[in-house]
Amino acid sequence: MNLTIPPFAKWLAVVFTVVLVALAFFAAPISSEKVQRGYRGTGMELVLNASTLDEKLEASQVPAEPWPREDTTDGPLASEVYENVQVLGHLQSANFDRLMAAITEWVSPEQGCAYCHGEEGNFAGDDLYTKVVSRRMIQMTQHINSQWTNHVAGTGVTCYTCHAGQPVPENIWFDDPDALYAGGLVGDRAGQNIAAPEIGMTSLPQDVFRPFLYEDANIRVNGNEPLPHGNTASIKQTEWTYGLMIHMSESLGVNCTYCHNTQNLGSWKQAPPTRATAWHGIRMLRDLNVAYLEPLGPVYPQMRLGPLGDAPKANCATCHQGVYRPMFGAQMLVDYPSLQAPGPEDLQDPPMQQTSEIAQ
Ligand code: HEC
Ligand code: HEC
Ligand code: HEC
Ligand code: HEC
């Protein structure tokens, strides 16, 4: 049989080829870098997309010091000069002022001092909730940097690590009413089966933060003994574990092999040291959420609380923001020794106070 090709099909083929060639020619080359994370041949590699990496690097530029720190013990202390400094009174007042300038740059660069002190500049008063929250944030930062060095090392964190120039950090979480009270017409979804961004748009349970980063639910899939007695991990627990693992991977911008030899996910012996760092990170977050962030609930105005009335809390992304080391490991803390550990006067937590005003 003689196959005749209709002329329009020939034209179509020509146009198609031209478009393809043009695309190949003009499309931006996507360059990627591979970093080997484990033994050769184990496939433990991290693939980094160079253009997203550049974007992230750009976004990770840290603000410069407002002015150099004074290294003297001659000047008056903040507690002598000011009326109501409960956690930073031991600082030289010049260095106290410098820290105020830095905090403003880190948390409320647009709103300025007024965000915590009001338009009238009532510096000693505690009427704005933002100031009361900030005092607790100073203590939390000192606590992270002194108590959680097995996670944050000497790099540590400043307000900027989480806030990045905004009063409300980009990544926070609340209890999810869909996850907790799923039901009604569609039946009980047991907190899963809707594509949720926090777990990479999978249908895994999305309420992984409360059990794992607030409570200390067991993060296990494998049993220690053979079935039928050994493995007490349920399918639900397995799905939850994977939900958390996806959150951790996405928060750091890495894949599973950053922390596991995927040939045996449970094995600590085969895992790179990053897994141990992550283990401490999980414990650190439970501590921060339970001891610092959730108890701030009564201090916040209603509009800052979650749909179920709980306070905003932190997860891996709050600090990491898509990068394996926050701000690519920028060393900011060295310039602010007052944030490295609590001062001598801070033996007791300051009283919490209920206010609900916000300075715009
Ligand atoms: C993000 C919140 C925040 C911002 C912004 C901020 N401060 Fe403060 N400020 C505080 C906190 C918290 C205290 C109390 C510290 C303590 O109790 O040790 C304080 C205390 C003070 C005090 C002591 C007042 C007294 O008599 O007790 C002065 C002065 C001060 N700030 C000045 C400034 C200046 C100037 C700026 C702007 C450059 C500024 N602050 C920006 C949170 C903030
Ligand atoms: C580990 C991350 C983390 C660090 C470090 C941190 N914060 Fe926060 N901060 C949070 C979270 C989470 C919230 C809750 C967000 C909200 O208010 O909705 C918050 C809220 C606040 C608010 C209330 C903002 C508002 O409008 O509701 C202020 C002010 C603040 N932080 C100041 C500070 C200061 C000052 C420091 C450094 C001394 C600091 N934070 C360090 C995580 C952090
Ligand atoms: C940033 C490090 C990190 C990344 C990335 C990571 N994990 Fe994990 N994974 C851990 C840690 C730490 C534990 C143990 C948690 C604990 O015991 O508290 C764990 C536990 C597990 C477990 C349970 C093992 C057992 O003993 O039952 C599984 C399964 C798992 N991860 C799978 C994954 C998968 C799949 C990925 C990729 C989607 C992944 N992980 C990404 C750190 C990581
Ligand atoms: C309070 C901020 C903060 C939070 C929250 C946080 N991290 Fe980190 N993390 C850091 C800092 C800072 C470093 C850098 C430490 C250093 O320089 O060695 C780090 C380092 C790491 C590293 C080591 C990276 C490397 O290549 O050395 C891993 C892995 C990691 N974090 C995982 C996690 C996971 C998983 C979570 C959530 C369970 C988490 N982190 C939550 C601040 C944080």
Positive or negative, the Cα torsion across 241, 246, 251, 253? positive
Question: Per-residue pLDDT tens for 73-106?
Answer: 889 999 999 999 999 999 999 999 999 999 999 9
254 lines ligand 3 (CB under 6 A): yes
Nearest CA to ligand 3 atom 17: 219
Give the pLDDT mean for 331-348: 87
Please state the length of the chain. Answer: 360
Please report the pLDDT score of residue 310 as a whole number. 94
CA gap 100, 82 in Å, rounded: 13
Q: Which residues contact 12 (CB under 8 A, 6 or more apart)?
A: none
Q: Ligand 2 centroid vs 343 CA: distance in angstroms?
A: 20
Question: Per-residue pLDDT tens for 272-287?
Answer: 999 999 999 999 999 9
Please report the pLDDT score of residue 342 as a whole number. 92
Q: Name the band, by pLDDT with cuts 50, 70 and 90, for residue 217.
A: confident
Q: Ligand 2 centroid vs 274 CA: distance in angstroms?
A: 27
Q: Name the band, by pLDDT with cuts 50, 70 and 90, for residue 54.
A: confident
217 lines ligand 3 (CB under 6 A): no
**Which CATH number, 3.30.470.20, 1.10.468.10, 1.10.10.10, 3.40.50.300, labels domain 75-165+329-360?**
1.10.468.10
* CATH 1.10.468.10 corresponds to the domain 171-320: yes
Given a cut of 70, whether residue 136 has pLDDT beyond it is yes
Give the pLDDT mean for 126-145: 97
CA gap 285, 200 in Å, rounded: 20
Q: Name the band, by pLDDT with cuts 50, 70 and 90, for residue 197.
A: low
Cα separation values, 35 from 45, 254, 257, 258, 274, Å = 6, 11, 11, 10, 14
Domain extent listing, the chain: 75-165+329-360, 171-320
The pTM score is: 0.87
117 lines ligand 2 (CB under 6 A): no
Q: Decide if 75-165+329-360 and 171-320 have a common fold.
A: yes
Q: Ligand 4 centroid vs 280 CA: distance in angstroms?
A: 9
Of 105-109, 183-187, 311-315, which range is least confident? Answer: 183-187
Nearest ligand, CA 256: 3
Give the pLDDT mean for 29-40: 66
pLDDT greater at residue 50 or residue 216: 216
Q: Ligand 3 centroid vs 140 CA: distance in angstroms?
A: 27
Of 36-45, 85-94, 210-219, 345-354, which range is least confident? Answer: 345-354
* Amino acid (one-letter) located at 273: P
